[in-house]
Structure 1
């Protein structure tokens, strides 16, 4: 079997090692590649706890030159939970141990500083582990996102790691908007500080390939990985086209984010590929999923009660971890208590709109956009929902930027038909996918997206912005609904107009067909894995 080494910051196969969609890919892709005759080992930081949690065996110590001084890292190997021939490698160092957290927010005046230090050292450890023979050389090196940029730099320019040039290198970009940019020099978190010896040898041509096009005094790890990898992969075909155009914030368009010229060069060389992520589909799909939806429309309370129970359990789990009660949690519990009382009198919401995701500009800019009267898109949505279905409910599960959390909490206090649960809980997210009538996902950009796939898998149609992976997965009028717009104002209006056209359909006979179409649609990892082998790894069909 061919061996690929995935270099990543996250892995959903390990407890506590998932933050975003990259972790789902690193969890699910190895199984699909295995069936194609490819063993995809994964290497990532241990973050101070994964090697103990996995009872990993020690493979030895690595000594690297970092900040101009020797640093000792420990290399471990653990068995993959379900694929016996696949290895999970973990590198540990005190710098990686941040109380069990994968990422740290960093100060606003020094974005990415701590994380950039951590992943620069991690990349050094990976290069040393391979070059020293402490772990076997793979047939392909597969980097994921900006965290691996320093590894691409070492492979290209560091003589002691020259052997890595013989390994074809692929980069997968899960989110182009996050690039990990740091100063080139004169900062503790900079390329010169991490690698003073190598930095002194980089000529103008080398520096020109790794600096930020917008900030020439900065090192851009994601750009370095793009320029210095053999092939670049975007996680959906539409996103792979969008990133070739410059971003235009005034038009509400997010594209190449300053890296479009490098991506255009890759495309011209035939080295840019858009391959959609897959989704796992359990073989024992429950038989009652669509009837749950019909029951909720009829006001049946036995379907709403488990959702309320799950929400209360999630909030209770968060409350017990702190000595104080967040006002948002208290507000959500009050709303849940009212919903429980309503359900006891057979007055449960007959219409449930849902949203699950990170509360960032990417996901929420359109919903948070305010019109000339200062009224947000979400507020208009809640008014429309109340007018169409007085007992209807919009349920939002997510956490993220403080300003967005505050805006949602204030709306939840003013509108009885908004349930805002500030956090993330997997059982609760599953319950929202199962019980909802319409999933709202108006991302400003979406490299691929998994939430819409999970909602569709559960038979819940989605209302989405026609960008990236959302455009590639939802077909308007068939299995969901898609809106467009050439500015934030237009996108806001188009969302509300599409919703106004969609609400009257819910519960009708044709709506059941849309639900059926959504639940039967498949985005298989097997198809994606075949494309990886053929287009990214250049392997013959298995």
Structure 2
């Protein structure tokens, strides 16, 4: 079974968020369960070329009158990766999607439209590569045109994964015309979306199966509250819509993590205490192992509930609790957090930006990790937190609901308790959750018991990979059935 995994980012080559983590870890897990998988992504200016052990040019082809090269790279991580090379990717430094002014690149639909066409050309043999995929597994709006462009072809089959339905790649009709797409796709049961076009809708409509990244999110996106205008389409496709929980890779393992000052495990937690003290010292917080430390790593946007968290921290007053927050996003939230840290330097620290090493250290240092997202398709940080012995404080949505079990007398008794889950999200609920965590933290025996239970949960990728393999097999079985029916007629 040959699978071409199409994505706009992949760790460790280039990362802006969770999609990169999935695109790095899932293909390796798929190869462990017997799938021949290759990843395809744009060759951005900022990819880490030191990870490439060898590279060969597959071919060069004109796409919409523009020369596009595709190379096959062998990474020292074990990945085989096709890199789609064109100046709209390779001549721009910085973020894959956003320009230096903080706004989306004005030509993103053209850039990712070109990428989708290149993937289609590669998969149908137009670049002359001998390896042919049976399945193309596309991810999020940037790859949504691939299934639409392949809709007239019987092979390969398309699987599409929604990582976050809020970002849909919606553009106007002149963009549709400029992209040179077939007019047969401009209709309500194809790409047309309230007078505009939607890359995300294209991926959903034209794929054999649609997956998303947790069971709860698969249900939520069929409702108006979480469906962003596509809930009717997703409900219509519900028998072909499946939630498969993301896993976390071995790069997030406190026993082997090279980014930590000292490793730790359920049997020896001294490393965690050392890292907490190191973080307190580094950020000028009061150095005291008995003061609970709550950390947060994420985008500073409303989706993540950061506005509510800021208000909740403000109303805590001088409570004996510390916060370290790492993230970047809306300037108003960055400014508010900096202001909080300036007023409370002994108990609040803020780092604006993203730092992979610091992200690992904060997961390890924290006694709790707060993640009050308004919606969360899967979420990875709450799983990292559990593995690193930090109790997650979360809102009962999406993957957060599927991975964190609220601490109650019953869940403590049956050994499933792992964190604090808010049912109705507002400032007072976050305030309450922080207070509840501090009460649990005071009871050190109870805290340690819950912490250990969380650290022992299995969020490995192999379980997820087996589920994806089943979906690939179902798509290929349908193809065989369709072909045999045609022969009978």
Q: Give the TM-score of the pair, scaled to structure 1.
A: 0.78
**5+ unaligned residues in a row in structure 1: which ranges?**
157-161, 248-254, 297-301, 312-335, 370-375
What corresponds to 1:398 in structure 2?
327
CA separation in 1, counterparts of 2:377 and 2:210?
14
Q: 1:169 aligns with which of 158, 164, 181?
A: 158
Counterparts in 2 of 1:191 and 1:290: CA distance versus 1, 3 Å? farther
Counterparts in 2 of 1:51 and 1:58: CA distance versus 1, 3 Å? farther
What corresponds to 1:125 in structure 2?
118
For the 8 Å contact 2:9–2:19, the answer to whether it is kept is yes
Counterparts in 2 of 1:348 and 1:237: CA distance versus 1, 3 Å? closer
Does residue 1:411 correspond to 2:340, yes or no? Answer: yes
For the 8 Å contact 2:264–2:270, the answer to whether it is kept is no
Does residue 1:473 correspond to 2:403, yes or no? Answer: yes
What corresponds to 1:33 in structure 2?
30
SS of the equivalent of 2:165 reads coil
CA separation in 2, counterparts of 1:295 and 1:80?
32
Does residue 1:153 correspond to 2:138, yes or no? Answer: no
**5+ unaligned residues in a row in structure 2: which ranges?**
257-262, 408-416, 477-489
CA separation in 1, counterparts of 2:353 and 2:45?
24
CA separation in 1, counterparts of 2:105 and 2:217?
24
SS of the equivalent of 2:62 reads strand
What corresponds to 1:10 in structure 2?
9
CA separation in 1, counterparts of 2:206 and 2:142?
14
CA separation in 2, counterparts of 1:418 and 1:483?
23
SS of the equivalent of 2:300 reads coil
What corresponds to 1:424 in structure 2?
354
What corresponds to 1:224 in structure 2?
202
What corresponds to 1:528 in structure 2?
464
Does residue 1:261 correspond to 2:219, yes or no? Answer: no
Q: 1:202 aligns with which of 174, 177, 184?
A: 184
Q: Please list, as runs of the form range in 1=range in 2, the aligned pairs for 1:88-127 lying within 5 A after superposition.
A: 88-96=81-89, 97-104=91-98, 113-127=106-120
Counterparts in 2 of 1:283 and 1:456: CA distance versus 1, 3 Å? closer
What corresponds to 1:191 in structure 2?
176
SS of the equivalent of 1:233 reads strand
What corresponds to 1:134 in structure 2?
128
Deviation at 1:153, TM superposition (A): 2.3
Q: Give the TM-score of the pair, scaled to structure 2.
A: 0.86
For the 8 Å contact 1:293–1:437, the answer to whether it is kept is no
For the 8 Å contact 1:11–1:27, the answer to whether it is kept is yes
Q: Deviations over 1:29-75 (max 9, x none)?
A: 1221112110111011001454955352111211112xxxx110011
Counterparts in 2 of 1:101 and 1:283: CA distance versus 1, 3 Å? closer
Q: 1:306 aligns with which of 273, 278, 282?
A: 278
Q: Deviations over 1:393-424 (max 9, x none)?
A: 11111111111111111222223421111112
For the 8 Å contact 1:12–1:27, the answer to whether it is kept is yes
Does residue 1:356 correspond to 2:356, yes or no? Answer: no
Deviation at 1:101, TM superposition (A): 2.8
SS of the equivalent of 2:474 reads coil
Counterparts in 2 of 1:107 and 1:151: CA distance versus 1, 3 Å? farther
What corresponds to 1:332 in structure 2?
none
For the 8 Å contact 2:11–2:20, the answer to whether it is kept is yes
SS of the equivalent of 2:446 reads helix
Q: 2:66 aligns with which of 60, 65, 71?
A: 71
SS of the equivalent of 2:144 reads helix
For the 8 Å contact 2:264–2:272, the answer to whether it is kept is no
What corresponds to 1:327 in structure 2?
none
Q: Please list, as runs of the form range in 1=range in 2, the aligned pairs for 1:433-512 lying within 5 A after superposition.
A: 433-477=363-407, 478-485=417-424, 491-508=426-443, 509-512=445-448
CA separation in 1, counterparts of 2:265 and 2:6?
40
Deviation at 1:441, TM superposition (A): 0.6
Deviation at 1:368, TM superposition (A): 5.1
Counterparts in 2 of 1:498 and 1:362: CA distance versus 1, 3 Å? same
Q: Which 10-residue stretch deviates more, 357-366 or 449-458? A: 357-366
For the 8 Å contact 1:112–1:180, the answer to whether it is kept is no
CA separation in 2, counterparts of 1:295 and 1:236?
30
